[in-house]
Amino acid sequence: MDEGSGLSGVIPKAVSSLFKKIKNHSHSTFMVAVSFLQIYNEKVFDLLNPASLNPKTLGSNVGGLRLRWNKHE
């Protein structure tokens, strides 16, 4: 759906706004990295990495992503 239609969600609107701002700063170089996560039953899944959702890859118990609270864990 078109961002201007008012029917798109938060993520399409945020992405559209981000790239409009980047376009307005053509004298600069930007690198954009995206993560799209789902939190379900206190487990985090990376929706852009299908392997994180594949039970064959993770065994029969799909456990989600391993979380680190800081860089030392």
Please state the domain count of the chain: 2
Beta strands in 1-73 (DSSP E): 37-40, 43-46
CA dihedral 52, 58, 64, 67 (to 10 degrees): -100
Does 28 lie in the same domain as 1? yes
Mean pLDDT of 6-10: 80
**Domain that residue 53 falls in:** 35-68
25 part of a folded domain: yes
21 part of a folded domain: yes
Non-local CB neighbours of 16 within 8 Å, separated by 6+ positions: 3, 8
Q: How many CB atoms lie within 10 A of CB 14?
A: 12
Q: Within its chain, how far is the Cα of 1 from the centroid?
A: 19
40 vs 62, higher pLDDT: 40
Q: With 50 as the cut, is the pLDDT of residue 19 above it? A: yes
Mean pLDDT of 13-37: 89
Does 47 lie in the same domain as 61? yes
54 part of a folded domain: yes
Give the pTM: 0.50
20 part of a folded domain: yes
What does the pLDDT read at residue 48?
Answer: 78
